[in-house]
Every structure is written in structure tokens, then in C-alpha cells.
Chain A
């Protein structure tokens, strides 16, 4: 009976219920205030709100901010976007910007963003999709190896510097094994997408090509899995069972659990990892495949601010974003919590005000030297799926011995190609 009712008819039919809506319900949004939505923890929220307060105090429109955890953020943003009620200013991730931009869920900013001052060119480039600017980078960061300084001191080894290589993993692996305190040299990095990317880039390849195809072949993937098998068998890295305890949350990492001294991470995450660890932590580079080979790292936009595609006040939203990334006082409040500021004068202004971990992160990103390679093209839309439902699962299957490295290498390439083709069709 009801089957024949389409959604439109049904919605009209139920509009009788709209009468109930007249029960003195206030209008949905506070007038004239910009709506801002971002993911993050308490520390980020405190800093962000301090900036919105300062912005409003300077006579600008008020900004009503809402923040959520990463896991809750995306369903809510997707629902609001589907419902046409997306906020004016939206924090956007590198992984999703293509999805949102190509569907006009966020607006191009080229004509409204105005003068961003001396802004890092690679960071501007990172916010572009099909040549148009859709996101303003809130900070640059780079992949970085988190290191437990206390643990290195305890076994009398030096924390590796930016010249270290994959061969050093073996040397340090033996040293930690010899110390016999239950801590391996490194966590298992075989399921880490940025780690694989970094390794491929040093070999002159890439995860994805500019056309959105795979930038490596089955032989590369097999070699990758086989290398980690070697480390695992010799006890240089943690066991598969231990590594699976890490769900991506900082408090579950192998360094937080004191099972490994080194952990592939990001420069801006030193602060977070330090906050759940009573040992002293620092960061260094990812290992080089050979001494002197660089080009694996790049300065990645940590996250963007974008303007909602349906936002009524696009100009006002863009004005707020410009203030957020170019005002030195705002910069001092924000610090490097979202990455190293991209505006040169902001960077200069904040440098003296930073705490120790932030200084380390800033120095690391500013002094990558020959490690620094070009910014890769934005990843294809299906990259997230290949990462979470393919690479991580495969690395665990290999780690637990359910699949050989050869098998996994071939399967990875076949399946990833299939996923890319499906997403493109």
C-alpha cells in the first residue's frame, strides 16, 4: 500500500506534522554568526575558540564553532551536506578534499580568499583540485619517526638523525634485542600507507600517479612485505599480535605501550604522543633506503579550511579563513597545533613563543634538506579505502602468517587496481 509512495509525496503528506514544528521553536541558526565545524581534541578546541573570540572582539561577525572527534565528524558532515545544511567554514582533510570538491560540496576560493601574504606555494598547491583552490592549508607537516629518547639512552644508543637508513633498523634491532627489556626497536610499519609511500618515492616511484593509477607494481609490494617479514622474524620489530593492539589512537601506539622505541608518525603528532607518555620523545626522519638517497618526504598540508558549497555568506567565511591563517596574533594562539603555519610572517612571529616539542616539530619540518621531495598529486578518491580496507588488512594477514609476501604483493596490486577502477566508473 505505502510502497508506491515516493519520498517526495511522503514528505508532503507528513507536512501536517510541520504544525508541531510551530511550537515556538527558534530559527535553526543564530543570525549572522558564521558556523564553523572542525575535528580535534580539547587542546585544538581551546586554541580555535580563542581565535574566534579574538576575531569577534575585533568587530567581525561572530563564529559559532562546533568540534567533534574524527570518527564522529565525517558522518555528521556527510549528513549535513546531503541535507544541504553544511556549515560555512569546514575543516577538511587531504584524503577527502577531492571527494568534496568534485561534488561541489565545498566552494572554490580563488576569487574570494584575497591576499594571503607570503604563503608557501606548495601548501597552496596542495589545496587545489582541478586547478581551483578549494582548501587553505592550516599548517604543513611531514611524516616523521617518533623516537623514545629515554629508551635509547637506557641501552646506550644514540637516537638516529636524519641520515639513518633501513640498514640501521637491523643494527638498532640487534641492540634492543640484546638489551632484553621487552622493547623492540620499531613498531611494524608494513601497514602504514605513508611509510610505504615514503619508501616508494625514494625508489623513484609513488603510491599513485597524477592520473590516479597505482604508481608501483606487484614486485615492489612483494619486496615491501618481504622486508618487514625479515625484520619481524629477527625480532627487530614488534610481533604481529602486539602491533594489532595499535588502533591508531595515540594511547594504543607501540611507543605508548612501551613495546617499541620507534614509531612511524607525523611531525605534528609529537605533542600528542608526548602527552600520553612519561618518557621523553622526539622525532627524526623516516629511514633512507641507502645512505644519501632522499626525496621521500614532502610537506603535506595537515588539514584545510574550506567554505561550504551551500554557505550563504561565502565572502564572510573566506574573510575569517584569511584572518585565521595570516594574523600573527591568531598564529600565536594557534601555535603549531595544526602543523607549521604556511604564512611566513606568522611563522616568524610565533617561533619564540613555542614550547619544546613544538620547536622540535618546527625545526624538523623546516630543515628536511635533501629528504624533501616534490608534493605528490592529490590522491584518487578511493585512496582511503585502499589504505584502510586493503593495505592494513593485508599487512596483518602477512604478519600473522596467513599470506606470503609474494601472494600479498600480487593481491594488493590486483585488488587496488579493481578498487580504483570501480571508483572511477
Chain B
């Protein structure tokens, strides 16, 4: 197609038309395919985003018009807000532990399920079940049954004579019950890994087999390199999701972040500021700071990706 365009162009009369026409030929298809997204972005997404950026410089209580207060919200965040510090600590701990563990778990199970064994669809469905349940009221009640002082975990531990604490309501451990919940719901990255594994052509393994490469070597030399685009995707998405994690903490602590703010996730704090304490301006500032953090992380990932992510193109 590109060749056709180049040949056809010089035959046009006016030079400017030619230039315009070539630009059209080169860029139009891209923009045509992008059109739905562009309409959505400009029509639906960018307006609310810019509005929220504007609101982050205002005092906005939802019920009366916003008042411009400059950078006061951002100043308060860093100088005069204990809860902000607590929320940062909780959220970073959560991201740091839940993301790698969840990804490792998802990849391991996906590899296990990709062996083409009998009953594969059933296993895959079973492993996906926890993720189907989402973060519902039922999960909140269940998690209590498991991690309370007289819950399942401690009943199990008591077999070995260990008296465990009430994990879910002890500020030293409560965050960990949420990290476990997050890892347990590893279904989405698992499915994406599976789809990625399926995209790796079988003949590459056969060729490697003939060359005498063992399973372990095949994993490092074929599977992992070819899977890097998917690993990259999962890592970025899971990190963004973990930073924005809201619902599990909300339902399990009934929106309080208790005990002692030990499950006060950043997004939960932001939500309470916006809708419980009517400080949408401050909440917007919190949100844009979070965006800044995530953007730094993502940009860093994209910059380093060319050293470890292998695309076929």
C-alpha cells in the first residue's frame, strides 16, 4: 500500500496537493482506526479529567460552587496530613507485596494449566472462581470467618499448638489478609498469561526439543522471552490496579480503614475525603498526585522495556 501511494503521488498536478495527499495517505488510516477512541477521549474522558485537575486547586464541597485556593491542597498533603502519610505507607506496602506475588502465582498456575492435560477447562474455571466473586459483601463476611481469632486459620494452627492472633482485626496483620485476598484473586492475569502462552507457536518447542533443550531451558529461552509483552502488560496493569485498590479495603473494613488506619488504602482515603467529608477539591489533589506517581512508574517501565520486552515486530 505504501508503495502504491508513493507511485501515485508524483502524478498529481500541484505540489501542495501532493504533499497534502501524501500526508493523508500516510496518516489517515491511523487516525481512521483511532477515530472511535479519539471521539471518546475528547468527548467523554478529557473534559472530566481536566475538570478534576482544576478542582484540585479549589475548595469544592460538592454542594456549593468551587473556590480557587491555589496550591493549598497540595501543600496540606505534604505538610499537615497524618492520614495521607498513613495511606501512602499502606498502599506502597500493598503494591510491593501483592503485585509480584500475584503475578508469580498467576504465571505458575498458567504454566501448569498449559500442559494440555485432561480436565483443563474445569481447572481453569475453578481457579477463576475467586475472581468471579469479586469484592462482594459475601467475601467480606467470608474473610472474617477465615481470619478472625476463632477463624479457620487459627483452628488449623491450633492443631500444631499455635495460638494465632485475630489476623483481620490486628493492625500488625490486617493488611496482610488483604494482600492474601488480592493474590487469591489471581484469575485475570492468569487468563492473560494463558492467552499469551497459547500464542507461542508449538513448533518452537519442538525445534528446541530436537536440539536437546530441557524443560527448564525451554522456559528461559523460549517461553519467558516470548511472553515478555504479556508479562510487561500484566505488571503495569496490576501495579496501576494495586495503587488504585479500593473495594476490598472498603468492604472488609466497612469503609473505615480500621484497625488504626492499617487498611487505609490511598483510594479509600481519597473516597472518604470526597464523599464522607465533602472535600472533593482535596480528593482531586490526592488523585492527581496518585496519577503522577503511577505515571512516573509507568514511564520508567516503558523506558526500560526495550531492554527486556521482546516484540515480534
Contacts and interface: CB of A to CB of B under 8 A. Distances in A.
Highest count of chain A CB atoms <10 Å: which of B174, B260, B261: B260
A319 B144 CA distance: 46
Interface residues of B, number: 41
Contact of A241 (B169, B253, B271, B278): B169
Given A74-B275, A384-B277, A402 B144 contact: no
B100 interface: no
A243 B51 CA distance: 42
B260 A393 contact: yes
Contacts of A392: 256, 258
Contact of B170 (A14, A244, A382): A244
A81 B46 contact: no
A252 B274 CA distance: 26
A244 B165 CA distance: 12
B130 interface: no
Interface stretch (A2-10, A120-128, A266-274): A2-10
Given A248-B254, A385-B277, A2 B260 contact: no
Interface in B145-200: 148-149, 165-166, 168-171, 174
Nearest to B51: A7
Contacts of B252: 247
B137 to A, nearest CB: 9
Contacts of A247: 252-254, 256, 258
Contact of A103 (B61, B171, B174): B61
A251 B42 contact: no
A57 interface: no
Interface in B258-291: 258-261, 271-272, 274-278
Interface in B214-267: 250, 252-256, 258-261
A71 B254 contact: yes
B63 A78 contact: yes
Given A7-B54, A384-B276, A99 B63 contact: yes
A180 B168 CA distance: 25
B62 A241 contact: no
Interface string A63-89: 000000001001100110110000000
Interface string A177-214: 00000000000000000000000000000000000000
Interface string B96-123: 0000000000000000000000000000
A48 interface: no
Interface in A240-269: 240-245, 247-249, 251-252
B50 interface: yes
B259 A252 contact: no
Given A400-B259, A400-B260, A17 B43 contact: yes
Contacts of B51: 7
A324 interface: no
A111 B166 CA distance: 56
A248 B277 contact: no
A221 interface: no
B44 interface: yes
16 contacts: A2-B46, A71-B250, A78-B62, A100-B63, A103-B61, A105-B63, A244-B166, A244-B169, A244-B174, A244-B258, A384-B276, A385-B277, A388-B272, A389-B277, A393-B258, A396-B171
Interface of A: 2-3, 5-7, 10-11, 13-14, 16-17, 71, 74-75, 78-79, 81-82, 99-100, 103-105, 240-245, 247-249, 251-252, 382, 384-385, 388-389, 392-393, 396-397, 400, 402
Given A103-B61, A393-B258, 10 more contacts: A10-B50, A17-B44, A78-B63, A99-B278, A244-B166, A244-B170, A244-B171, A251-B141, A388-B276, A396-B259
